[in-house]
A and B are shown apart, each in its own frame.
Chain A
Amino acid sequence: MGIELDVKSFDDALKILSKDYKIFAPIRLKGKGAFSDTDLVTYGEISSYKDIELNEKSRYSPKEVIYPITQTLFYFTEDEYREPEIDDKRIIVFLRPCDANSYLKLDNIFLKNGPYEDNYYKRLRDKVKFFVIECTKGFSTCFCVSTGSNKFLDYDVFFRFDNDKITCDVKNDEFSYAFSGKEVEFAPEFIEKNEIDVKLPDIDKISQNLEYVFNHELWDEYTKRCIACGRCTASCPTCSCFSMQDIFYKDNPKCGERRRVWASCMIDGFTDVAGGHSYRQKYGERMRFKVMHKIYDYKKRFGTTMCIGCGRCDDVCPEYISFIKIVSKVTDAVER
């Protein structure tokens, strides 16, 4: 059973929930886009229905809710260091099924890879509740069906936004108190076919032809076209790499912070080691590393493809490089 809401009752629910939760959703920032007079659709805190941008794909993903671009790990003073406090409030994220799946991909790295859980990630991740936005049409560069990320059933509340008519399915009883309205028949729907169908390569076939794929001429094109700006990885909901950064304050050099900041395999300096050596200097080699991570070696390690098929990397590339086309080329190469 679902509950039918109008805008007022939806806003009332947000108001009730906001006492205990910070609520994030895709929002539109007027004039903040990459080009003159364009808007930026990204994730931010909301307080009412009118704040949510439902008609356009967000340029950045909801990953920064649990994995901030810059995160202070320690504050240092002269002779001690201290972990920063975090907000007591729990977190609600309105997100599409693909993006909800991306959280599970990040979990593999931050919680399951290696012998330790990353506590900075975990303490935010444990607070998150999924308010999934029904997505049955997708956008022109989406291919979530191909990556198996079109469905997400482990939601807390599921929403269908049909103009000003809102229907929801409250799966987690914890939220029942906030939503009241007419009970209606409701079954969540998921997109079954994208405009784009991408055939992912068989990872066993890649394993059998690893050197062939790695040395394939297809990567050379990206040495010429890619400018290593890292936009694709900044917009990707599953990219999780970071660098450490220590700073001290100008007005008191005895105090400072250790931060972690998003980093990327596409940008200069990522693989530098002592003595001036670095790996993957050609941009085509970096592209190969990124693409293979998304579709091949992450799957070998965790049993699931890393890419969720949101297509943001294609949307944001200033050189019009298409990840989708690269994946197709890899598939063609291994099935030669």
Chain B
Amino acid sequence: MTNVYMQRKAEIISIIPQTDIDYTFRLKSDILPQHGQFLQVSIPKIGEAPISISDYTDEYIELTIRKVGTVTDTIHELKPGDFLFIRGPYGHGFPVENFKNKNVVIAAGGTGLAPVKSIINRYNRNPKEIKNLNILVGFKSPKDILFEDEIKKWEKSFDVLLTVDNGDETWTGNTGLITKFVPELKIENPNDTIVIVVGPPMMMKFTCLEFLKRGIPEENIWVSFERKMSCGIGKCGHCKINETYVCLEGPVFNYTKSKQLLD
């Protein structure tokens, strides 16, 4: 009988610090996930946690992990050459096939940028797949900014708006929540525009509302949920919202579905 909880070894190729508490771990792997899917990542004797895949090629996957608990604290102590244990990928990702030849807007808050980074890089490699891409990214403060080098790269190809909630004396960029910038966004044809919103729950809720005000149809908005999970395969119940299991039907949901997920 196949053991669905069995994990496999994945070697850490490199570790790229993003902030003091967010590191990107590049693991040797041939997993080709959908954008937005997640893995159950574990260290035997310490624990297991669901982590979204922030990027991948056919030789490696990247996980951007914030140091926030027992498992992630221990992961942050690992070095290249050490192993992580993984199972997955699980859940549904973003249906990128449906986004072809559309205007795409990606609004990401904080670590919410991780699950959409691979989509942005996909469009960076294949810019003709969509009409254009607008990126809105927000972080709490300048020291919390993730993927700074990549954001600079994206700025060369796409309209990128980077903002922080609170700047410091050296900060010369935008300040304010992402919601502040949605009304200023250039959206020529709302019906032909796909919006992806990922971030903390409050950010997602109010950002979606701002896009609805801009005339984006509900079915054109996609979100990704974060929930506690112990199994990732529809058994443990932690991620359940009404009859919906985020690990099975999500973590990516269309807004028309997500607005019904009362919690």
Is residue B126 within 8 Å, beta carbon to beta carbon, of the partner chain? no
Centre residue among A120, A241, A244, A263 by max chain B CB count within 10 A: A244
Cβ contact within 8 Å between B235 and A242: yes
Q: How extensive is the interface on chain A, given as a class? A: 35 or more
The answer to whether A119 touches B236, judged by C-beta atoms less than 8 angstroms apart, is no
Assess whether A297 is in contact with B242, with CB atoms less than 8 Å apart: yes
A186 beta carbon closer than 8 Å to chain B: no
- Asked if B44 and A260 make an inter-chain contact with CB atoms under 8 angstroms apart, the answer reads no
Given contacts A114-B234, A122-B1, contact A301 B243 (CB under 8 A): yes
Q: How far is the CA of A301 from the CA of B247 in the complex (A)?
A: 15
Contact partners of B170 in chain A: CB under 8 A: none
Known: A81-B44, A83-B3. A271 touches B228 (CB 8 A): yes
Q: Judge whether B200 and A277 touch: CB under 8 Å.
A: yes
Looking at the assembled complex, report how far the CB atom of A111 sits from the nearest CB atom of chain B, in whole angstroms.
10
Kindly report which residue of chain A lies nearest to residue B243, judged by CB atoms. A297
Interfacial residues of chain A within 268-305, with CB under 8 A of chain B in the complex: 270-275, 277, 279-280, 292-293, 296-298, 300-301
Q: List residues of chain A with CB within 8 A of the CB of B201.
A: 277
A245 to chain B: which residues have CB within 8 Å?
Answer: 47
Q: Cα distance A292–B244 when bound, in Å?
A: 13
Decide if the interface of chain A is mainly helix, strand, loop or mixed.
mixed
Name the residue on B nearest A272 (C-beta): B228
A113 touches B235 (CB 8 A): yes
- On whether the beta carbons of A214 and B262 are closer than 8 Å, the reply is yes
A213 to chain B, nearest CB (A): 10
Of the 9-residue stretches B10-18, B29-37, B64-72, B186-194, which lies at the interface with chain A? Answer: B64-72
Q: Which of A74, A114, A241, A293 is packed against the most chain B CB atoms within 10 Å?
A: A114
Q: Is the CB of B245 within 8 A of A114?
A: yes
With A274-B72, A280-B263 already in contact, the answer to whether A292 and B235 are too (CB < 8 A) is: no
Q: Within 8 Å CB of A280, what residues of B?
A: 263
Known: A244-B230, A275-B68, A298-B243. A118 touches B235 (CB 8 A): yes
CB closest residue in chain A, given B248: A114
Q: B214 at interface (Cβ–Cβ under 8 A)?
A: no
A116 to B45, Cβ gap below 8 A? no
Does A248 reach chain B (CB closer than 8 Å)?
yes
B176 interface residue (CB < 8 Å to A) = no
Bound-state Cα–Cα, A296 to B233, Å = 21
A73 touches B (CB below 8 Å) = yes
Please, what's the 1-or-0 string for B238-263, where 1 marks a CB less than 8 Å from any CB in chain A?
10101101011000000000001011
**Which chain A residues lie closer than 8 Å to B4 at the CB level?**
116-119
- Does B48 belong to the interface (CB within 8 Å)? yes
| A76 → chain B closest CB, angstroms | 4
Contact A242 B45 (CB under 8 A): no
Q: How far is the CB of B242 from chain A (nearest CB, A)?
A: 5
A265 close to B (CB within 8 Å): yes
Instruction: Report yes or no: B3 in contact with A115, Cβ–Cβ below 8 A.
Output: no
Chain A: minimal CB distance from B175 (Å): 21
The CA of A298 and the CA of B240, in the complex, are separated in Å by 11
Q: A173-185 toward B: CB 8 Å interface, digit per residue (1/0)? A: 0000000000000
Q: CA of A301 to CA of B245 in the docked complex: distance in angstroms?
A: 10
Residue in A closest to B45 when the chains form the complex, CB atoms: A256
The answer to whether A119 touches B2, judged by C-beta atoms less than 8 angstroms apart, is yes
Which of A119, A244, A260, A292 is in CB contact (< 8 Å) with B1?
A119
A258 at the interface (CB under 8 A from B): yes
Judge whether A200 is part of the interface by a CB distance below 8 angstroms.
Answer: no
**Chain B residue contacts of A271, Cβ below 8 A:** 227-228, 238
Minimum Cβ distance to chain A for residue B22 (Å): 11
Q: Looking across the interface, which residue of chain B has its beta carbon closest to that of A279?
A: B263
Q: Which residues does chain B contribute within 8 Å of A248, judged by CB atoms?
A: 45
Q: Which residues of A contact B43 (CB under 8 A)?
A: 246
| Residue among A210, A253, A260, A274 with most chain B CB within 10 A | A274
Q: Does B142 contact A (CB under 8 A)?
A: no
Q: List the 9 closest pairs (A to B, CB-CB), nearest first.
A: A114-B234, A241-B237, A297-B243, A256-B45, A76-B44, A248-B45, A113-B234, A116-B4, A246-B47
A-B contact list, 8 entries, CB within 8 Å: A76-B44, A76-B45, A119-B2, A241-B238, A273-B226, A274-B66, A297-B243, A301-B243
